[in-house]
Amino acid sequence: MLVSLIAKDKDGALDVRKANRDAHLAYIKSTGVVQQAGPILSDAGEMIGSVVILDVQSMADAKDWAASDPYALAGLFDSVELLHWNRVIGG
């Protein structure tokens, strides 16, 4: 099952994002469930959120993955939305 995670950072949290980026990327690589991922950018090109496509067994697995993300543990996000996703193009 594919799940899209759409997370928006708290205002002024770029330093939190940068400080936890290496741990976040290591987590992505180590879990083996991330199909695609990348930051959401502001008009000025600054990172202000994340989009992650997860390939998991259940929505509960997606919630567990999201809760254990170093970005989430650091309190980076203002909001996180998990939605079922249907790939139409790519992959």
Q: pLDDT tens digits for 29-51?
A: 999 999 999 999 999 999 999 99
- Amino acid letter at 41? L
Whole-number pLDDT of residue 90: 82
Query: What are the C-alpha distances in Å from 8 to residues 23, 26, 80?
Result: 18, 20, 7
Question: 32: alpha, beta or left, given left = phi > 0 and alpha = psi -120 to 50?
Answer: left
Predicted confidence (pLDDT) at residue 2 exceeds the cutoff of 80: yes
Residue identified by tokens 């799940």 is 3
Q: Average of pLDDT values for 8-34?
A: 97
The predicted model gives 71-84 an average pLDDT of 98
Domain residue extents for the chain: 2-84
Cα separation, 63 vs 35, in Å, equals 16
What fold, for 2-84?
Alpha-Beta Plaits (3.30.70)
pTM over 0.85: yes
